[in-house]
Chains A and B, each alone.
Chain A
Amino acid sequence: MNINNNNIDDFIKKSMEGFEVRPPSQIKSSVFNKLFFYNLWLRRKRLLPFVIALLMVSSGAIGYSIYNPQLSISALKIYSIKKNTFKPLTQQPFENAQSEPQIQNDNKINNKETVKSSKAIDEQKSEPTKILTQKNDNDKIIPAKENNFNTQKNQNSNNNIIEKPALIALSNNSIQTPVNINPQEDIKTELITSYSPLPSPMALYNPNNLPECLASINSPKFKTQFLWSGSINYDIPIYSNSRTFEGSDQLAQKYSSSFKNTFGPIGINFRAEKKNLFFDFGIKYSSFQEKIQTPFGLTNPYDKENIDLIGHYITVDTSAYYHYYWISDSTVRIIDSVWTVEFDSTSHNLYDTTYTKIYDTVHNPVLSVKYTRLDFPLFIGWNTMVKRFQFGVSTGPIINLFINTNNSISPDYIYYETFKDLNGKFSKFKVGLSWQISASAGYFITNRLVVELSPYYRFRVINVKPDYSNATIRTSEIGVNAGIRYFF
């Protein structure tokens, strides 16, 4: 046969059929590099819980660093002292504290006055409060607070050290002041780390209960600091609607299952509160079991599956859709869309409206699926005190991380190999998101220990669903969270 202008197209097309040229490997990496951010964008729903968690933890950390009680109190302290040169003061402590900034200003304004000889210093021994300052090479007076605890070496090597008697050291609500100042002595500096313990949470709720010394400060820092507490708690579910199937009412009607918590959810929780507002974050562990208790077996053939039916070997082509059917006595019931069954070389289409008798089985297998999950609650709330009782409300997301699923099937079911478990389609480490609304009531059994009960309503925002399936676990739950909280 000759090839000419009229038929060359077909010959060329035929000769090039299936022909491909492998591109260089760097093309692949280049393409996927360019898709990196696009893929992140596509996974934004999955990443959102982590971003929220990160933001909340970050803001908590920033808030903690800002309102850290140590920082608040250290603002009232002067840091460097000469060892054994201070003795307790008997005078009103916070008057001195308030005078500190004024002294610093005086030093800055009039350097000459602050640079004094050792004689002058000796004369001032009895003066109660002044700031340790140092004159550096540029004759600049550096307040002790800024000087970051001069070392012995530095002080010895610098003859321009101007000793100032004075220091305010807040230690156990007392003020110390220097005596016997001698600039030639070996000077050691140290940070005073002991200070008045925080008032109890009950006291903070009621300013009248503040210790007198703190109340007299009238410092806004004490009012704005976070109060930290931690709790151990346990969820007691009272009601939960366990599972629905989207897009298949028929399935939802027939399929019933029950959830049973086998352990937990038990968790620890940390709370930062300021005035009446609080933020909670923590972690919870839970494992629960789903038990399919219908008389029907449930199986989920996917793609192609070989099923042995009374000696006949058939191929089920599900055309890439995920189908459910029950195996009941004498009946295979197909739920959704079309099944193509190749039976003895003959193809049959089975529709969901047609219940086709295929084979007999009277087995009623029980399928139980065990899930293990970590929850990360992130709540914001408001509470108030009434005598020794604390009442509050809170709301926020709970990030759910499924870390394991496994199943078991009743061993008397002989067609074990044909019984595909539902949980097999769950990926490990699947992430979901729930939202919780709760109220709480607590009782202070001591000044720092609170027993709490929190009724809650929890519903799922982002479902955890098996791959390739329309089936989703869409739970909502009502329960009570019981816990005990300790204020640090």
Chain B
Amino acid sequence: MNLSDLLNGCIKGHRKSQDFLYEKYAGRLYFTCLRYIQNNEEAQDVLQESLIKIYKNIQNFDNDNEGAFWSWMNRIAVNTALNHIRDNKRFEETDISELENVLGFSEEEEECDSSLFSTVSSEKILQIIQELPSGYKIVFNMYVFEDFSHKEIAEKLNISINTSKTQLFKARKLILSKINQIIDNKLVKQAI
């Protein structure tokens, strides 16, 4: 089934087309939800809500490009996740200095070898992203995966552009630090 059939079918309420859309995109959408929301059950709620919004608004999508269609759906999932976070008052700018103390950040720039990085599984990376403080996580996801600019992020989250930049910077640093920890653990295990 190509995209045009899929869209036509969903617009007409054909179950076959809706099934097809679900099978094709639900996994990726769920991944999007999990990037923003750590709790599985909440992520599933957000996925459900997103899918229903997609089915009910699919007639508003006016493009036969599959990439554009995915972007549109992903944007719906992201907005739904952000609304969920906002409704539950989970979004908070992470206090950097406090976090630095807790995590023991140093001024030194974190680095890791790309060959070693490739040994880290996608599941592990997802887990690292999920475990980020909510402020870091949201800014990082929006900037890296959804290609929002800092200005857009600032407007959407009602924060300053500088805050967005800082949170992204710290998120990267934290992720690198955790990836290095995983790699180190692996190397230690191998050495043993």
Residues of A bordering B, CB below 8 Å: 1-5, 8-9, 11-13, 15-16, 19-24, 27-28, 30-32, 34-35, 38-43, 303, 319-321, 468
Contacts and interface: CB of A to CB of B under 8 A. Distances in A.
Interface of B: 2-5, 8, 11-13, 15, 18, 22, 26-28, 30-31, 34, 44, 47-48, 51-52, 55-56, 64, 109-114, 117-118, 120, 122, 125-126, 143-145, 169, 172-173, 175-176
Nearest to A38: B56
Given A13-B144, A31-B48, A31-B52, A38 B13 contact: yes
Contact of A20 (B31, B117, B143): B31
A13 B145 contact: yes
B122 A5 contact: no
A377 B2 CA distance: 38
Contacts of A41: 13
Given A5-B109, A16-B126, A22 B27 contact: yes
Contacts of A5: 109-110, 169, 172-173, 176
B176 A8 contact: yes
A34 B113 CA distance: 48
7 contacts: A2-B112, A11-B114, A27-B26, A34-B52, A35-B52, A42-B13, A319-B64
Contacts of B47: 23, 27
Given A15-B125, A34-B48, 8 more contacts: A3-B117, A9-B172, A11-B114, A16-B126, A21-B34, A35-B18, A42-B12, A321-B4
A3 B143 CA distance: 18
Contact of A468 (B8, B22, B28): B8
B52 to A, nearest CB: 6
A4 B109 contact: yes
B15 A39 contact: yes
Contacts of A38: 13, 55-56
A450 to B, nearest CB: 45
Given A2-B111, A39-B15, A42-B13, A20 B27 contact: yes
A114 to B, nearest CB: 66
A24 B45 CA distance: 11
B47 to A, nearest CB: 6
Contacts of A321: 4
Nearest to B26: A23
Given A23-B47, A24-B44, A320-B64, A15 B30 contact: no
B30 A8 contact: no
B27 A1 contact: no
Contacts of B5: 320, 468
